[in-house]
Amino acid sequence: MELITVSTRAIEGQKPGTSGLRKKTKVFMGAHYLENFVAAIWAGIGGVAGKTLVVGGDGRYFNDRAVQVIIRMAAAEGAAKLIVGQNGLLSTPAASNLIRKRATNGGIILSASHNPGGPDEDFGIKFNMPNGGPAPEEVTNRIFQATKTLSEYRIAEGQDIDLSALGETTFGEMAVEIVDPVTDYAAMMEELFDFEAIGGLLAGGFRIAFDAMHAVTGLYAHEILENRLGAAPGSVLNGTPSPDFGGGHPDPNPIWAKPLVDLVMGPDAPDFAAASDGDGDRNMILGRGVYVTPSDSLAVLAANAPLVPMFREGLSGVARSMPTSGALDVVAKELGIPCFETPTGWKFFGNLLDAGLAQLCGEESAGTSGDHVREKDGLWAVLFWLNILAVSRMSVAEIMSAHWKKHGRNFYTRHDYEGVETEKAEALMESLRARLGTLPGKTHAGLTVAAADEFAYDDPVDGSKATAQGLRVAFEGGSRVVFRLSGTGTVGATLRVYLEAYEPDPAKTDGDPETALAAVIAAAEEIAGIKAHTGREGPDVRT
């Protein structure tokens, strides 16, 4: 093994966003781009010498090349060992599990998650801590600082490691263990859920469809749903990972997973359907004739938690991101347990989970997970639902309707304006931020503003503070709108407008959210001037 020191220059814009650094794949493939960021990770974590890390990704274009670069750069710095998923693959929750289970010093996950993949699409990289969770802002800030001052990095020359061959090998002095990406994860799922009950449900003719969206979860879903639980062969759709996700966006929502939604709304609908995203950490839940909004799904899981072995003893606390609907809060209140409200991004749940303050967390963007890992976990949420369905013997539609009758319904929708010119999106936010203080008491589209502020978060565990986490406008009567700019996109800006209204009357919980929220949508437009600022007539995506 020959060590080379490469001189480089700081590259601008290597600032991690909501979940790691995401850029166009071609940017990552440019001279020194990936190498600089990996060197900055080493600097940000106090060096990699003597450490053991997990490495894997969602299989998108450039995943395998990036793994080889990380192997050579870790070896050059004297890392003790890398544990790598076979063929460079690991779903995000499986990586989180391996980091924890093998008591490593953390891991590197190669993914741009729900963003499309391919030479002309997106790539991403992030560092996870020894607890298995995404690096907190303190660490990502250190990494970003390091990207600004780099002048060289070290890399070892050597043959590529055969990522397909399971078992342990070495690269120079460093051990490289290639592991099956599914085995440990599947074993954990068997411990957390009642596989006998779910297997029984499926054996009784209950039909499911799981859309892996040509992404990494296909491996996991084939093994767990079909092989271990006995779902009919073919229940897993698009189950072979492809570097460009079959040309689509691996985003499990009614827009990008439309064929699955059409299936459950059609005449030959299965009893249950679900999808997950590029790196397997998100979930979309569907039943025959029903789409379950992620915020509602989270509330349903909380309300039914004692039905699954993992939460047999009940929950001691739950948490949701700020833009996620208050449906979880309603359940938490009834259970008499705390419900924490965090900024968007899974990294903010880590401390609450580590401290045992929350055991179930979720985001409106279809991320849900428990304290078994420190990432959101798509298949876990699917198994949680299947376990509830198997024990309760109710349909998805019956569960939703019973839930709303008991707790009321938080009508919810999110409107995304994608690829807006950055200056225009920022101008909208700036203008609204400046007017927040003047809004209370004013009436828009028949709704009177009760409060308006910019969300900031004080972490109750380590006291760290996160500011500028979204602009909130609450109306009298409990409805609200939140404005935020996305931190995961790679082109221009994405404006997210989160809209919500609570309906306590059990007689009024049916219906279409876009209709139920018409007044809130109109008020949001009046308050923020979305059309005027963005030049758009309406959102690109409604979820």
Residues of this chain that interact with ligand VG1 (CB under 6 A) are 18-19, 113-114, 277, 281-282, 321, 344-346, 363, 365, 367, 486-488, 496
Closer CB to ligand VG1, residue 60 or residue 288?
60
Q: What are the CA-CA distances from residue 123 to residues 27, 29, 56, 58, 75 (Å)?
A: 9, 9, 13, 10, 23
Nearest to 60 by CA among 113, 134, 126: 113
Least spacing, CB of residue 385 vs ligand VG1, in Å: 18
Of residues 363-382, which lie at the interface with Co ion (CB under 5 A)? none
Residue 488: name its binding partner from Co ion, ligand VG1, none (Cβ under 5 to 8 Å by kind): ligand VG1
Residue 367: name its binding partner from Co ion, ligand VG1, none (Cβ under 5 to 8 Å by kind): ligand VG1
Least spacing, CB of residue 440 vs ligand VG1, in Å: 26
- 113: contact with Co ion by CB under 5 A: yes
What's the maximum distance between 2 C-alpha atoms anywhere in the chain?
73
Closer CB to Co ion, residue 36 or residue 113?
113
Closer CB to ligand VG1, residue 264 or residue 493?
493
Closer CB to ligand VG1, residue 81 or residue 415?
415
Strand ranges (E), 228-379: 236-237, 272-276, 283-287, 290-292, 318-321, 339-342, 360-363, 367-370
Least spacing, CB of residue 364 vs ligand VG1, in Å: 7
Among 194, 277, 363, 375, binds Co ion (CB under 5 A): 277
What does the radius of gyration of the chain's CA atoms come to, in whole angstroms?
A: 23
Separation between Cα atoms, residue 162 and residue 176, nearest integer Å:
10
As given in the structure block, the two tokens for residue 96 are 């989180």
Residue 58: name its binding partner from Co ion, ligand VG1, none (Cβ under 5 to 8 Å by kind): none
Least spacing, CB of residue 48 vs ligand VG1, in Å: 23
Closer CB to Co ion, residue 114 or residue 415?
114
- 77: contact with Co ion by CB under 5 A: no
User: Buried b / exposed e across 2-40, counting CB within 10 Å, b at 16+?
Assistant: eeeeeebeebeebebbbbbbbbbbebbbeebbbbbbbbb
Among 281, 329, 503, 525, binds Co ion (CB under 5 A): 281
**Which one of the spans 108-116, 159-167, 320-328, 451-459 is the region binding Co ion (CB under 5 A)?**
108-116
Q: Please confirm, yes or no, whether 7 is among the known catalytic residues.
A: no
Least spacing, CB of residue 213 vs Co ion, in Å: 11
- 128: contact with Co ion by CB under 5 A: no
Q: What are the CA-CA distances from residue 373 to residues 92, 128, 288, 346 (Å)?
A: 10, 12, 30, 11
Least spacing, CB of residue 360 vs Co ion, in Å: 18
Closer CB to ligand VG1, residue 365 or residue 410?
365
Type of residue numbered 470: G
Closer CB to Co ion, residue 277 or residue 525?
277
**Which one of the spans 112-120, 236-244, 302-310, 340-348 is the region binding Co ion (CB under 5 A)?**
112-120
113, 276, 295, 325: which is the annotated catalytic residue? 113
Q: How many CB atoms lie within 10 A of CB 188?
A: 20
Separation between Cα atoms, residue 398 and residue 419, nearest integer Å:
39
Separation between Cα atoms, residue 520 and residue 253, nearest integer Å:
22
The owner of tokens 């003790």 is 80
Report the SS3 class of residue 315.
Answer: coil
CB 128 within 8 A of CB 106: yes
Least spacing, CB of residue 94 vs ligand VG1, in Å: 14
Catalytically annotated residues: 113
Binding site for Co ion (CB under 5 A): 113, 277, 279, 281
